[in-house]
Amino acid sequence: MGNRDDPDSPSDETARDVPSDHDGDGYGDPAGPGGGNPATNSEARYGAGVDDPTGEDPGDPPEPVELVSLFEVYDVRRDGETVLYIGEPRAPRERLETDLWSLFRDSGYDISLQRGYTGGDVPISRGEHVLVAEPHSVGIEGVPWLNVGLFVGTVLSTLFAGAFFWYQIPVFEAPWRMVEAWPFTAAIIGVLGVHELGHYVLSRYHGVQASLPYFIPVPTYIGSLGAVIKMEGRIPDRKALFDIGVAGPLAGLVATVFVTVIGLQLDPLPAQEAAATQVSEEGGFRFNYPPLLELVAQATGTGGRLDGGPVHPVVFGGWVGMLVTLLNMLPVGQLDGGHILRAILGEKQQLVARSFPALLFGLAGYLFFFRGVDSVLIWTLWGLFALGLAYAGPATPVDDSPLDRPRIALGVVTFVLGALCFTPVPVEVIQPA
């Protein structure tokens, strides 16, 4: 996310002393208009007491002279609202982008240094270094039809899953009766949607462009493979990275507990009781409860409902919310846990991330040898997924200053809550009696 590194770029080398032929224009004078850290010169640009431009509408882009201590510009071109500064870097890419970030963000732009430019109507060869300044926006333009379509598709798929698998409704004979499974749909979409909206709200708060949730409809027992949001651009600092990462699991857990409490107050459906008897005789699947669900049941005086037999389908919505929280809290790559741990530990997060795929594969192997096929596929697939995410690496904030202690404490609490959502065998195969 926002990682635009180019391994071929010489700007990744140590800073070079590039001489300037522009005497008297501030290019070689640290105290001139481009002197010092350009990211702190907004007062020189706008005048004392004048508000800086907001990130909503891009203002006038920085002048080339303001970049000279880090990037010597010899040509400026425009591709629509995108501004292309062509020149020579005087610092490694990471330092250049970090030090210029505030200067461009104050003007309403995001920046990246790259070799060449092929993104529009102004092609530039890879032999040139280009500082690309794109208008920064966190809003949603127009009607997000794809999001709407996927949401409607997920409503239909969860209605089908609830009606067919849980309410035992003959959906192919009476498809209109699928609406009877609306409590199941509300539970599933509620826990998934609130989780992603937590990310969305904090992304907007920190000025990071983010889409509305994309729901993924699949007519399985759940009716969906979850939901995701798409974030573009760089993360300003570790605080923003942490806040965006932690908001989803915490918001999702609030919705999950709420759904679970409601479900535990409802009696199981007659169709479920008949299906449970059939499973015990003919075999099937059983969904085991994580510690957090059992704690919620004990706290609400409904622990007896989990002792045996079926529970209302809405409780399964809470089960799904806890499984989603657990998987998202894996501390790898750009999963929520990866964001949180990267914000807490910095680059040391990679040491933890690289060990987690092995732990998941080890759990799958243990279950295979001692339990048969119970949940082996789940942990194997997530081991492969975690391996790919760990290889891709985490999001890197522009300002990598350490996180404050209250956020670190909140991160630890969130990981503990995530651990309470873990059960080694979430799905158990029941053999025929």
Residue 286 has pLDDT above 50, yes or no: yes
The predicted pLDDT at position 280 comes to 59
Confidence class for position 179, pLDDT limits 50, 70, 90: very high
User: In this predicted structure, which of 33-42, 69-78, 135-144, 161-170 has the lowest mean pLDDT?
Assistant: 33-42
**Mean pLDDT, range 97-121, rounded to an integer:** 83
The pLDDT confidence band at residue 139, using thresholds 50, 70 and 90, is low
**pLDDT at residue 103 in the model:** 86
Q: Please report the pLDDT score of residue 284 as a whole number.
A: 65
In this structure, are residues 162 and 313 in contact, taking their beta carbons and an 8 Å threshold?
A: yes
Q: Which long-range contacts (CB under 8 A, 24 or more apart) does 18-24 make?
A: 18/72, 18/88, 18/90, 20/68, 20/72
How many of the other CB atoms lie within 10 Å of CB of 69?
24
pLDDT at 113: 87
Task: Note the pLDDT of residue 269.
Answer: 84
Alpha-carbon dihedral of residues 185, 187, 189, 194, nearest 10 degrees?
A: 160
Using 50, 70 and 90 to split pLDDT, how confident is the model at 35? very low
Buried b (16+ CB within 10 A) or exposed e, 203-234: beebbbbbbbbbbebeeeebbbebbebebbbb
Mean per-residue pLDDT, 184-211:
93
Angle at the Cα of 55 (from 49 to 58), degrees rounded to 5?
A: 95
User: Is pLDDT at 32 greater than 90 in this prediction?
Assistant: no
Asked if residue 182 has pLDDT above 90, the reply is yes
The pLDDT-based confidence of 127 (bands split at 50, 70, 90) is confident
**Can you tell me the mean pLDDT for 190-217?**
93
52: confidence class by pLDDT, cuts 50, 70, 90: very low
The pLDDT of residue 6 is 40
Give me the pLDDT at residue 241, please: 95
pLDDT top residue among 43 and 334? 334
Residue 149 has pLDDT above 80, yes or no: yes
> Which structure tokens are listed for 317?
């919505």
**pLDDT-above-70 percentage for the chain:** 82
pLDDT at 185 over 60: yes
pLDDT in tens, 204-249: 999 888 889 999 999 888 999 899 988 877 888 999 999 999 999 9
User: pLDDT tens-digit profile of 323-360?
Assistant: 999 999 999 998 999 999 999 999 888 888 889 999 99
Of the ranges 32-41, 80-89, 415-424, which one carries the lowest mean pLDDT score? 32-41
Question: What is the chain's mean pLDDT, rounded?
Answer: 82
Task: Average the pLDDT over each of 2-6, 187-191, 382-386 and give the range with the smallest value.
Answer: 2-6
Q: What is the pLDDT of residue 344?
A: 96
Average the pLDDT over each of 43-52, 110-119, 312-321, 342-351 and give the range with the smallest value: 43-52
Cβ neighbourhood burial of 176 (10 Å; 0-12, 13-18, 19+): exposed
Q: What is the pLDDT at residue 31?
A: 33
Q: Residue 39 pLDDT more than 50? A: no
Q: What is the pLDDT of residue 433?
A: 62
Query: In the numeric block, which tokens belong to residue 428?
Result: 């158990």
Mean predicted confidence (pLDDT) in 167-193: 94
Greatest mean pLDDT range, 244-248, 370-374, 426-430: 244-248
pLDDT of residue 37: 42
Per-residue model confidence (pLDDT) at position 421:
97
User: Which of 29-38, 56-65, 161-170, 303-312 is the least confident region?
Assistant: 29-38
